[in-house]
Each structure stands twice: as structure tokens, then as C-alpha cells.
Amino acid sequence: MKIISINISSPKHVSLDGGPKKYRSGIFKTPVSDPIFLDQLGFAGDGVGDTKIHGGVDLAVCAYCVEHFLHWNDKLNRKLAPGAFGENLSLEGMFETDVCIGDIFEVGSAQIQISQPRQPCHKLNKVFNDQSMACSVQKTGFSGYYLRVLKTGMVESGSPIKLIHKDPNGISIEDANALLRKGGANVPNMKNLISHPSLSNEWRKMFQKRLDRIIPVKG
């Protein structure tokens, strides 16, 4: 497991699809070669456009597996480079089926913890000029994931990633993605996910709302 690339961008008003409409976004990230400081809100010089739905301590770092690029290269008929999905960390050897919510890793002198899957949105359709992109990400499970920063420090591209705590609950990113794909119909699995202490607040609230629709709160 290692970092292939660290990618950052300050938020700016950009066209996502080459059209006239512009969005305030930090999705178009570029690699950095020098060591960079990682604090509790993310990498120095990085930012998000809409702080209501992106960023914060639970979503400080977005990660994506470079092995998935082969699939998307074939689908899109083009070669993707690190940062293509707006990820901060382009990683090798850390698949959604293997890593779990609550897992803690050492990267450089920092420590990071997985908090939730990345949930695909319509912006990916515009960025890739493919109206099926967000749906395809959800179906494949090649979503990437978010991490919080437990210990700040310096991080550098090419650095190995060391697992220092494997969460005993064993809820993988793919497990959480599967619940999302199925609309959260599995009540025991939803309850298990909601009760996980390392799950992000946003995903806890989202699945609690779904659970409440299935099992209305008695007044």
C-alpha cells in the first residue's frame, strides 16, 4: 500500500463540462511533488467549493484507488491521471472491498482514519462528459472514500501507507456502498452501520432517516 500521488486545488469558479455555467469547486486537482502538511481539515493549499456538503473533519481527505483507472480508461476511451476523480490521495493497494470504516493508517508523520465512502454525484457526469458516470461509480463500487485526520503531519507522494489499527467491526467501504445501492433495506445492517463510532456524521444521519422511514418512531 502506498501513495501514488497527492493532489490539491484551491476552490475557484470553473466550468465542469466546458459549458458557460460555472461552479465554485476544487474538483480539478493537480499533483504536488514536495512534502505537504496535512491538518484536521485537509492538505495545505487544498479546499472545497461548497462547504455545506464537502469538507470538514469527517471528510478532510478524499482517496481513490489507481487500479480502478484501467476500468474507467476502457469505459471513457481515454487515459486518466491521478487526481481525475478530484481525490487528494491516489492510492495503490487499498480497495473498497478491503478497507473498513474505522481503519487507521500512518502516512508520513500523520495518521488518518476511514470515515465513509465517497458518494457519487451529478458533478462527475459533467466532469467526465458522461451522464451515466455517477450511476456507474455506484454500480461498480469504485467509489473511493473519505478519511479524517487523527494526527497532523507531513506527507509525501510515494510514501508507504502503514495499517496501524484494523477496525474490529469489519464494515468495509463496499459493505456501506452495497447498503446505499440497495436503498438501505437491510435493517440489521443499517443499524450496525449507524452504530459504528467511526462513521461520519453525514452518513449516520442519512441512514438514520432511511431507518426511520422503515421503522417509524413511536410517539
Q: Which grid cell is 160?
A: 508507504
Question: What would the pLDDT profile of 152-191 be if each residue is shown by its tens digit?
Answer: 999 999 999 999 999 999 999 999 999 998 876 789 999 9
Residues of the chain whose pLDDT is less than 50?
A: none
Give CA–CA dist 70/50, Å, rounded: 30
Please state the domain extents for the chain: 2-167
Give CA–CA dist 124/187, Å, rounded: 30
pLDDT at 41 (0 to 100): 96
User: Residues of 101-121 as b/e, b for ≥16 C-beta within 10 angstroms?
Assistant: bbbbbbbbebbbbbbbbbbbe
pLDDT at 184 (0 to 100): 66
pLDDT at 218 (0 to 100): 58
Residue 165 DSSP label: E
Look at the pTM and tell me if it is higher than 0.85: yes
**How many Cα neighbours within 13 Å face the side chain of 122?**
1
Alpha carbon dihedral 177, 183, 185, 187, in 10-degree steps, equals: 60
Homologous superfamily of 2-167 in CATH? PK beta-barrel domain-like (2.40.33.20)
Question: What would the pLDDT profile of 160-170 be if each residue is shown by its tens digit?
Answer: 999 999 999 99
